Amino acid sequence: MDRTQLIADLERICGPTNVRSVPSDLLVYEYDGSVDGAVDTERPLAVVLPDSTEQVSAVVKLASHNGIPVVARGAGTGLSGGAVARGGGIIIALTRMERVLRVDPVSRTALVEPGVINLELSQLVAGQGMFFAPDPSSQKACTIGGNVAENSGGPHCLKYGVTTNHILGLEVVLHDGDVVWIDAHGPGAAGLDLVAILVGSEGMLGIATKVLVRLMPSPDSVHVHLAAFGSMDDAAAAVTSIIGAGILPASLEMMDHLTIEAVEPAYHAGYPMDAAAVLLVEVDGTRQEVAETSDRIAALCREVGATSFRSAASPAEQELLWKGRKMALAAMGRLAPNYYLHDTVVPRTKLTETLQSVNDISRDFGLPIANVFHAGDGNLHPLMLFDRRRDGDVEKVLEASHALIHACIEVGGALSGEHGIGSEKRGYMELVFTRDDLVAMAGVKDAFDPRGLLNPEKVLPKGYVCGEVRALHNQAMAQKHGIHPM
C-alpha cells in the first residue's frame, strides 16, 4: 500500500492530530525501556493515538486488509522490546484511552481503558477502601494495558499474585478488527480460560481496549520493616527462614550494598550505608495479625544474623522506605551512565548459589552488578552497570547477560518473572521449552492471528511463527506415522 495513502486513511480514522508519520516524531517509538543494543529497533511506518475501541478496530481492519503489521503500545516502559515495531508497520499507542469507566465497590471491580496509569487507579479507589494489587516499580508511569500484555508483577505479587490474578474480563480487538468481550470468570463459567491466555501474550493475540480488573480491600494495618545484614548470604537465609516458617508477607525485597550506595544518597530513605544487604518487608492484615507476624519476622532475621531491624514509625516513613526501593533503577545514574536489567527467576532455595554466580560473572567480565529484587519469589533484578559510549561495553554486557541467563536456567529458573520475553529473550526460549512446547505456543498464536500481523517477531524463536508452525506440525505427524518426505 502506498504510504501516503496509508497516512491519509489513518488520519481519516483517528484525526490528523492523532497520527504521527514524520521521522522526528517516529524516532521515540523505535525504543522501549530496553537497553540499546540488546533489542533490535525498527522505525514504524506510522503511529496512531486512538481514543476509542472503534478507532482501534478501524485501524486494525485497515492494516489487516493491506497486510500491514500492528503493534499495541502503552507507556513504553517495557524492558524486553515488546512494544518495538520489529516488523515495521503501525504502532497503536493506547495512552489516550485513559478513562476509568466504572467502579463497583460491592463486587470490588473496575472497568478501565488500557491507558489508565497503574498507580492512578489505586489512588482513585483508595477512598473506597480498595487498591489494585499489581505494582511494578514503574507504576507511576506504566499502564493497565501494558500490565495485561506483560503479566506484570511487582513487590506485592508475593502475596497477591501477578496481573493475571486480577483480570476478570477483556474487550479485545482481534487480528481482523473484530471486537469481542472475553470473560471466563462469571458465575458458573466453564470452558477454556481465554482471559488467562491473553494476559501475558504481549499483544501477539489481540489488543485489549477495555479491562475488567479485580480490586482488593485495603488492609486494616500495614507495617514496613527494614532488616540489615552483614552479608548477602545472611539476607538470603532470612528470606528462606521467613517463607519456610509459613509466613507470607505482602512483600519481601532485597537490595545489596551497591544498590544502597546509589539509593541512600539520592533519596535518604534510611538504609544503613554499612550494610552488605537489606531486606524490606511489608506485612498487612488485621492489627493483631500484623503485630504477631512482625514479631516473628524480627526474631527470624536476628536468628540468622541481622545487624539491625527496625519498623517504620509512620506512614511517611513507610513511604520513604518504599521510595528508595521503587526508585532504585533511577538512582543507578549516580554509579554509571547506563544499566542493563534482567528479571530471571530462580527457586528461593537457590538464591545464595545464584547470587554467587552473579558475583562471579561481575568479576569475570569486569562489570559492577547491583542486585535489587523480589526475594520472596526468587525474581532477580541484577543491574549490570556500564557506559555505552566506551568501546566494547555493550558487547561485554550482552556476553555477561548470556552467562547470567544460563546460570539461572541451570538451577531450575525461568527466563522472566514479569518483564516478558519480547524480542530480547526469544532466542533463549529453547533453553527452557521443548520443541513440542514451542509448537503448541505457536499453534495458539496461529489460531488467534493466522497471518502473523499482531506484534510480529516476539516471544517465539525463529522457526515457530505463522506458516512455519504448520510445517513443523505436519513434519512431526509424518514422523509419528512413519511417513518420510521424498
pLDDT tens digits, 211-229: 999 999 999 999 999 999 9
The pLDDT score that the predictor gives to residue 486 is 41
> 381 versus 465: which is more confidently predicted?
381
Q: How far is CA 6 from CA 20, 60, 88, 449, in A?
A: 12, 12, 14, 22
Measuring CA to CA, which residue among 394, 338, 340 is closest to residue 37? 394
Does residue 82 carry a pLDDT above 90? yes
Does residue 438 carry a pLDDT above 50? yes
The whole-number average pLDDT for the span 164-187 is 91
Q: Strands of 100-104's sheet, edge to edge?
A: 100-104, 109-112, 207-214, 167-173, 179-182
The whole-number average pLDDT for the span 171-194 is 87
Under DSSP, is residue 422 helix (H, G, I), strand (E, B) or coil?
Answer: coil
For residues 437, 440, 442, 445, the Cα torsion angle rounded to the nearest 10 degrees is: -130
Ordered alpha helix ranges (H), 154-231: 157-160, 194-198
- What lies within 8 Å, CB to CB, of 10 at 6+ separation is 19, 21, 46, 48, 59, 62, 90
- What lies within 8 Å, CB to CB, of 252 at 6+ separation is 158, 239, 242, 243, 279, 280, 281, 282, 374, 375, 376
Look over the chain and give the mean of its residue pLDDT values, rounded to a whole number: 93
Could you give the CA distance from residue 218 to residue 214 in angstroms, rounded to a whole number?
13
Q: Which domains does the chain have, with CATH numbers?
A: 3-93 (3.30.43.10), 100-217 (3.30.465.10), 219-335 (3.30.70.2190), 433-480 (no CATH)
Distance of CA 377 to the CA centre of its chain: 15
Measuring CA to CA, which residue among 251, 144, 154 is closest to residue 199? 144
Residue type, 305: G
The pLDDT score that the predictor gives to residue 485 is 44
111 grid coordinates: 472497568
The whole-number average pLDDT for the span 280-305 is 98
Does residue 264 carry a pLDDT above 70? yes
The pLDDT score that the predictor gives to residue 190 is 74
Question: DSSP secondary structure string, 214-282?
Answer: E-EEPPSEEEEEEEEESSHHHHHHHHHHHHHTT---SEEEEEEHHHHHHHHHHH-----TT-SEEEEEE
Does residue 478 carry a pLDDT above 90? no
Lowest mean pLDDT among 122-131, 188-197, 409-418: 188-197
The pLDDT score that the predictor gives to residue 187 is 61
pLDDT tens digits, 98-120: 999 999 999 999 999 999 999 99
The pLDDT score that the predictor gives to residue 185 is 65
pLDDT tens digits, 1-47: 799 999 999 999 999 999 999 999 999 999 898 876 667 778 999 99
